[in-house]
């Protein structure tokens, strides 16, 4: 993957004008990820998704308010919950569709279990503007672009931009695609396309991490192809709202 600015969390923090002390996650972060209450299926994905390194690269701190965009089954919700601690807050944006399935109750139960999570069953745009220190969108931006075009991609990112406080940061993570392939069918997006849309939305790119790269994925397979083991080649932008 072509990188503009290499990782890591330290570089991100320096770009934001923060001290390296901010790299420290809560003392019980690792214990919470290994807790018996955390689903084994979530733990099985840790090797590919690198939860601790991802939180450090984004520079998440105790006490922050972080929005989990399109939170789905809550993998990132649990990770962020552990990272911000009991004095922080996770706004888990599940969307209206979750209410049409049994997932809605499951997600409410998850929020009740974690204690520092507010579930939102509506669009990101309903979250108050300038209210979050950080946001994460993982493996869903490609659909906004592939099925709604350039304007749809920009609109998706603009909702994230709006919810952040000035100076707030976001992680934009997705399955990397290659121009010329049927990325809509493959559920991917080329990193060059993502970068252009990020900049067009008004974000500053703080860093472009290779943390989630997987050279064994040549971008020609649909992301749920069993041979990938859900470990696709992924780009990881850390972006900042000026």
* Cα–Cα distance list, 71 to 17, 133, 242 (Å): 29, 17, 25
Between CA 234 and CA 16 the distance in angstroms is 24
Contacts of 168 (CB under 8 A, 6+ apart): 132, 133, 134, 135, 240, 241
Residue 23 confidence (pLDDT): 55
Residue 120 confidence (pLDDT): 94
Q: Which two tokens stand for residue 228?
A: 């990938």
Residue 100 confidence (pLDDT): 66
Residue 209 confidence (pLDDT): 98
| Domain 9-18+50-240 belongs in CATH node 3.40.50.2020 | no
Contacts of 189 (CB under 8 A, 6+ apart): 141, 142, 145, 146, 174, 175, 176, 177, 183
Between CA 204 and CA 170 the distance in angstroms is 10
Tokens 């840790």 sit at which residue? 46
Between CA 5 and CA 210 the distance in angstroms is 10
In this structure, are residues 62 and 85 in contact, taking their beta carbons and an 8 Å threshold? Answer: yes
Between CA 90 and CA 43 the distance in angstroms is 20
Q: Which residues in 117-130 are b (16+ Cβ under 10 Å) and which e? A: bebbbeebeebeee
Residue 119 confidence (pLDDT): 95
**Residue-level pLDDT, tens digit, the chain, 242 residues:** 444 444 444 444 445 544 434 457 999 999 999 999 999 999 999 999 999 999 999 999 999 999 999 999 999 999 999 999 999 999 999 987 777 666 778 889 999 999 999 999 999 999 999 999 999 999 999 999 999 999 999 999 999 999 999 999 999 999 999 999 999 999 999 999 999 999 999 999 999 999 999 999 999 999 999 999 989 999 999 999 99
Residue 24 confidence (pLDDT): 75
Q: Which two tokens stand for residue 187?
A: 């559920």
Rg (C-alpha) for the chain, rounded Å, is: 17
In this structure, are residues 4 and 195 in contact, taking their beta carbons and an 8 Å threshold? Answer: yes
């Amino acid at each position: 993957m072509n990188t503009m600015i290499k990782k890591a969390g330290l570089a991100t923090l320096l770009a934001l004008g923060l001290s390296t002390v901010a790299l420290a996650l809560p003392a019980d972060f690792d214990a919470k990820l290994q807790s018996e209450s955390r689903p084994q299926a979530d733990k099985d994905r840790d090797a590919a998704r690198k939860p601790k390194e991802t939180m450090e690269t984004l520079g998440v701190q105790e006490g922050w308010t972080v929005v989990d965009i399109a939170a789905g089954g809550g993998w990132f919700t649990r990770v962020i919950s552990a990272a911000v601690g009991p004095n922080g807050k996770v706004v888990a944006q599940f969307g209206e569709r979750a209410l049409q399935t049994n997932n809605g109750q499951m997600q409410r139960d998850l929020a009740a279990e974690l204690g520092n999570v507010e579930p939102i069953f509506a669009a990101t745009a309903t979250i108050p503007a300038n209210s979050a220190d950080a946001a994460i969108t993982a493996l869903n931006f490609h659909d906004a672009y592939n099925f709604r075009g350039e304007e749809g991609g920009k609109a998706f990112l603009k909702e994230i931009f709006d919810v952040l406080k000035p100076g707030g940061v976001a992680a934009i993570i997705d399955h990397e695609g290659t121009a010329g392939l049927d990325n809509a069918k493959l559920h991917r997006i080329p990193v060059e396309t993502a970068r252009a849309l990020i900049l067009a939305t008004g974000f500053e790119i703080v860093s472009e991490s290779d943390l989630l790269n997987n050279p064994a994925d040549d971008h020609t397979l649909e992301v749920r192809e069993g041979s990938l083991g859900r470990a696709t080649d992924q780009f990881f932008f850390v972006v900042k709202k000026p």
